[in-house]
Amino acid sequence: MMKKKLILDVDTGVDDAQAIMMALIAPDVEILGITCCHGNTPLEKVLKNTLRVLKVCNRLDIPVYAGCSQPLLSNKQHASDYHGKDGLGDVPAADAPGLELVQKKKGVQALIKMIKQNQGEVTLVATAPLTNLAVAVQLDPSLPKKLKALYIMGGNIESRGNTTTCGEFNFVADTEAAYIVLERYTCPTTIATWEFTCSNSLPWKSQSAEYQKEITAGKGFNACDTYALAAAIDDSLIIESEKVAVTVELVGDCTRGMMVLDYMDLLNKKHKVTIMKKVDLEKFKQMVINSLK
């Protein structure tokens, strides 16, 4: 049986680290590469964190690429209040791999090339602000047609923000990029939103890995990015979802960055995305536990 080909687009903080670890342990998955983006922490630290996770898992053979270091138009935002100044809980790592291990090819160009070389076979999992994806589709408008599927962690469904009044971090960190991606990527698209991850969270007592506890500084286990990755590996994990056309609000003092769900079809968009509502928590918990062994 052929392995599922994944590309991970990350801004490696705590939850991205968990998602990467889950992908690495999955027996039927091949990670073609990891592209990095600004987000939870500045790009240089994202690269260092990604390499740290790969080293912990003895998988430095997977290529890591440097993508965009800033959003298209938005002001830079980071999440050091949750992820720590370095993005991984400020845990010392004297033996962390150096940036010389980062591939010379730029992240966006690498993303385009990997998808072209594996047309119709690649599932792209985006757990960062969507800058890399937005730039890629501007350079190659045909790119979405070459993807098998796209899984995104970002946006919201109840206008509950975690960064602004109505905005989720990834969509607020590059609102224009989120808008472009939801307009231009017409491949099968599944979104794990902020409120969804909150309502499907796991208690800490189900976790046993000291590394994960250490980098979260004991602040609890919110596996935001891991849900998108888990669904990309095994979509039978999703037990309730809905299909709806979506867009992103670009203006508004309170609503900029908010994902808009068009239940009345007023946007006249043919492409509808799958919004995750509920997952099989027992199956998800087992996937998490397996990734932390």
Active site residues: 11
Of the candidates 50, 18, 4, 17, the residue with the CA atom closest to the CA atom of residue 285: 18
Of the candidates 130, 76, 82, the residue with the CA atom closest to the CA atom of residue 246: 130
Tell me how far apart the alpha carbons of residues 220 and 65 are, in angstroms, rounded to a whole number: 30
Q: State which amino acid sits at residue 178.
A: A
Of the candidates 199, 276, 187, 200, the residue with the CA atom closest to the CA atom of residue 238: 276
Number of residues that make up the chain: 293
Computed on alpha carbons and rounded to an integer, the radius of gyration of the chain in Å comes to 17
Greatest Cα-to-Cα distance within the chain, rounded to the nearest angstrom: 55
Q: How far is CA 225 from the centre of its chain?
A: 5
For residue 29, what are the β-bridge partners?
A: 4
SS3 content of the chain, % helix, strand, coil (to 5): 40, 20, 45
> Which pair of structure tokens corresponds to residue 260?
């808009």
> Which pair of structure tokens corresponds to residue 50?
């990604």
